[in-house]
Amino acid sequence: MTSSESHSGERIEDRPLPPRPDGVPVAGNTVQFVRDPFAFYDGLAEYGDVVSYSVAGEEFCTLLHPDHVEQVLVTDEASFGKSEFVQDAGDFLGNGLLLSEGDHWRRQRTRMQPAFYRERIASYAADMADFAAERAASWDDGETVSVLPGMKELTLAILASSLFDLDVRGRSSAIRDATRAINDKADAGSVDAFLPDWVPTPTNRRFRRAVDDFDDVIADLIAQSRGADEAGDDFLSILLTATDDDGETMSESDLRDELATFLFAGHETTSLALTYAWVCLSENPDAREKLHAELADVLGGDRPTMADLADLEYTELVVKETLRRYPPAYVVFREAREDVEIGGYRVPEGTTLTLPQFEIHNDERWFDDPEAFRPARWTEEMAESLPDYAYFPFGGGPRHCIGMRFAYAELQLVLATMAQRVTLDRVDDGPLDRRMGTTMEPEGDVEMVVTER
Ligand code: HEM
């Protein structure tokens, strides 16, 4: 297929543009989007599975069909790149693995892959369960806790210890402040998301300060690791000692960008998944009872190990269903590098494509009663009949999440460890409000009451 030919063999330039909701000249759909991005996204489906609109002068096209997701992430992935829109917003991640492209990305991904092999993940399992047990023990019976900060601290400690062999517990507030400022800055319901960093809004000032503090922590971590007597075989040591074809080690700035990327991408998403899992379990006592029964049966009160995970089948489905219902990475962004045909339409070069997991995972065309939390829906038969890419919490194709196996092991081990010791019941019982930042976060505190088991 040449770049001017569509899948059907017709010329792409003869294809119609995708339908678009009414907007106003110049501002496009900015006001509708910023006022309520959830309602805006929900409203797109009435225009079809390929819908275009403009926000803040940027041309977007949202894809709502799994086949289109597969086309963008896998089949025709070479026609799409990481979107400039996201690269600008994620400036503080620099040229780290999440945002880099081309040969640099390929070289870095190859270098880092060994840290995520199955046997390496197994070596992190004890830390995952130990930190989880410590967290559960830190809560008192009857105490009301704010779950998200607790889960962020936990996943950050796990990440730093397993990947970097460092104890960040004293430094976690700078990292947490930075991730909060980053999410505030990216909040789709705020105009700040569309303003350049140098505009001195309060959010931008907080963002700049937080990124500076974050950089100080990273510099310290690098110094701490370089000062170690011998190079370890942890991820940070791989980064410090890896050489390219010319025998060069990684530059300071590449190292900084990779650390920023992994500190951010590696703990924020998992802390959200755990928070959502606790909320779903609290709201679904039957599922919680089933989980408790499995844990009693398989573990009998012991701390779970990597070897137990294969037997913790229901625990795995709880994780899987949580990532369906509330995907923490809620949209994958790409940019069309050339004119492309998608679903019979011409999507012009330069358009930012959004592939929204939070819509597709909750679409009744693919999932019965999508708003219900039902881990048991994931039967073999159901999984077989599900179209590929109706479920893609970790993305897909060459740029799929490098931390997927790490995340799955962590989520299962933390849930299995903590749910044996405590139950958490949500204080509010209304729907869970969320906001679209860099990740999809609950709006405000998620308060839960701890009961020791
Ligand atoms: C529930 C947890 C997680 C979710 C939902 C998640 C989701 C994702 C998604 C959707 C992507 C693809 C982005 C795109 O195509 O533009 C991605 C990429 C990535 N993730 Fe994760 N992730 C999780 C956990 C982790 C962990 C634990 C780590 C590190 C230890 C990590 C590190 C990364 C990195 C570095 C990339 C970029 C990979 C590349 O482009 O080569 N993630 N993640």
Task: Write the pLDDT tens digit of every residue in 311-360.
Answer: 999 999 999 999 999 999 999 999 999 999 999 999 999 999 999 999 99
| Residue 31: half-sphere exposure toward Cβ, Cα within 13 Å | 7
In this predicted structure, what is the pLDDT of residue 8? 62
Cβ 274 under 6 angstroms from ligand 1:
no
Asked whether residue 165 falls in the same domain as residue 297, the answer is yes
Q: What is the mean pLDDT of residues 374-403?
A: 97
List, edge to edge, every strand of the sheet that includes 331-336: 50-55, 58-63, 352-356, 331-336, 80-81
The answer to which of 96-105, 229-238, 417-426 has the lowest mean pLDDT is 229-238
Asked whether residue 286 falls in the same domain as residue 374, the answer is no
Ligand 1 mean position to 340 CA, how many Å? 26
Asked whether residue 91 falls in the same domain as residue 111, the answer is yes
Considering only CA atoms, which residue is closest to atom 17 of ligand 1?
A: 401
User: Which of residues 10 and 426 earns the better pLDDT score?
Assistant: 426
Considering its fold, how many domains does the chain have in total?
2
Considering only CA atoms, which residue is closest to atom 19 of ligand 1?
A: 401
pLDDT band at 12 (very low <50, low <70, confident <90, very high): confident
Residue 204: both structure tokens together: 């931008």
* Full domain range(s) for residue 56: 1-75+330-392
In this predicted structure, what is the pLDDT of residue 185? 62
Average pLDDT, the chain: 87
E-strand stretches of 370-439 = 422-426, 434-436
Asked whether residue 55 falls in the same domain as residue 157, the answer is no
Q: What is the mean pLDDT of residues 186-191?
A: 57
Q: Which atom of ligand 1 sits closest to the CA of residue 159?
A: 30
Tokens 């006001």 belong to residue: 31
Asked whether residue 303 falls in the same domain as residue 438, the answer is yes
Of 94, 236, 263, nearest to 175 by C-alpha is 263
In this predicted structure, what is the pLDDT of residue 32? 81
Q: Give the H/E segment covering residue 63.
A: strand 58-63
Cβ 395 under 6 angstroms from ligand 1:
yes
Cβ 204 under 6 angstroms from ligand 1:
no
Asked whether residue 31 falls in the same domain as residue 128, the answer is no
In this predicted structure, what is the pLDDT of residue 284? 97
**DSSP strand pairing (422-426 vs 447-452):** antiparallel
Residues 6+ positions from 163 with CB-CB distance below 8 Å: 115, 124, 234, 235, 236, 262, 266
User: Which of residues 213 and 133 earns the better pLDDT score?
Assistant: 133
Which of 347, 377, 392 marks a domain boundary? 392
Residue 249 in contact with residue 309, Cβ under 8 Å? no
Cβ 89 under 6 angstroms from ligand 1:
no
How many other CB atoms sit within 10 Å of the CB of residue 246?
5
In this predicted structure, what is the pLDDT of residue 183? 64
Give CA–CA dist 201/237, Å, rounded. Answer: 39
Give CA–CA dist 148/162, Å, rounded. Answer: 21
Q: What letters, b where the CB count within 10 A reaches 16 and e where it falls short, cover 203-233?
A: bbebbbebbebbbebbeebbeebeeeeeeee
In this predicted structure, what is the pLDDT of residue 196? 52
Of 146, 382, 414, nearest to 291 by C-alpha is 414
Asked whether residue 250 falls in the same domain as residue 361, the answer is no
Cβ 109 under 6 angstroms from ligand 1:
yes
Considering only CA atoms, which residue is closest to atom 1 of ligand 1?
A: 270
Residue 389: Cβ-neighbour burial (10 angstroms; 0-12, 13-18, 19+): buried
Percent of the chain topping pLDDT 90:
57
Of 160, 223, 412, nearest to 306 by C-alpha is 412
For residue 69, is pLDDT > 80? yes
Residue 115 in contact with residue 408, Cβ under 8 Å? no
The answer to which of 208-222, 254-268, 315-329, 384-398 has the lowest mean pLDDT is 208-222
Ligand 1 mean position to 115 CA, how many Å? 14
In this predicted structure, what is the pLDDT of residue 307? 95
Percent of the chain topping pLDDT 70:
86
Q: Which atom of ligand 1 sits closest to the CA of residue 262?
A: 29
Ligand 1 mean position to 266 CA, how many Å? 7
Residue 352: both structure tokens together: 């930012």
Residue 50: Cβ-neighbour burial (10 angstroms; 0-12, 13-18, 19+): buried
| CATH number, residue 19 | 3.30.43.20
Which of 375, 392, 409 marks a domain boundary? 392
Dihedral of CA atoms 294, 298, 303, 305 in degrees, nearest 10, equals -110
For residue 247, is pLDDT > 70? yes
In this predicted structure, what is the pLDDT of residue 13? 85
Cβ 151 under 6 angstroms from ligand 1:
no
Residue 11: both structure tokens together: 């010329």
Cβ 403 under 6 angstroms from ligand 1:
yes
Give CA–CA dist 284/281, Å, rounded. Answer: 5
Residue 37 in contact with residue 31, Cβ under 8 Å? no
Residue 387: both structure tokens together: 């179209």
Cβ 332 under 6 angstroms from ligand 1:
yes
Helices (H) and strands (E) in the chain, counts: 17, 12
pLDDT band at 171 (very low <50, low <70, confident <90, very high): low
Considering only CA atoms, which residue is closest to atom 3 of ligand 1?
A: 269
Give CA–CA dist 111/91, Å, rounded. Answer: 23
Considering only CA atoms, which residue is closest to atom 7 of ligand 1?
A: 394
Q: Is the dihedral of CA 123, 124, 127, 133 positive or negative?
A: negative
Tens-digit pLDDT profile for residues 193-243: 555 555 556 666 777 777 787 788 788 777 777 766 666 667 777 787 777
Dihedral of CA atoms 292, 293, 295, 301 in degrees, nearest 10, equals 90
For residue 1, is pLDDT > 50? no
3-class state of residue 54 by DSSP:
strand
In this predicted structure, what is the pLDDT of residue 2? 44
Asked whether residue 249 falls in the same domain as residue 295, the answer is yes
Cβ 402 under 6 angstroms from ligand 1:
yes
User: Which of residues 25 and 337 earns the better pLDDT score?
Assistant: 337
Ligand 1 mean position to 355 CA, how many Å? 15
Asked whether residue 343 falls in the same domain as residue 442, the answer is no
Asked whether residue 213 falls in the same domain as residue 281, the answer is yes
How many other CB atoms sit within 10 Å of the CB of residue 8?
8
Which of 370, 392, 414 marks a domain boundary? 392
Residue 303 in contact with residue 403, Cβ under 8 Å? no
Ligand 1 mean position to 142 CA, how many Å? 35
Of 88, 67, 61, nearest to 350 by C-alpha is 61
pLDDT band at 165 (very low <50, low <70, confident <90, very high): confident
Tens-digit pLDDT profile for residues 269-325: 999 999 999 999 999 999 999 999 999 999 999 999 999 999 999 999 999 999 999
Asked whether residue 65 falls in the same domain as residue 212, the answer is no
Q: Which atom of ligand 1 sits closest to the CA of residue 116?
A: 30
| CATH number, residue 417 | 1.10.630.10
Asked whether residue 24 falls in the same domain as residue 155, the answer is no
Helices (H), 51-192: 66-70, 84-89, 102-112, 118-137, 147-164, 172-186
Residue 137: both structure tokens together: 């023990």
Considering only CA atoms, which residue is closest to atom 9 of ligand 1?
A: 394
Of 278, 239, 280, 238, nearest to 256 by C-alpha is 239
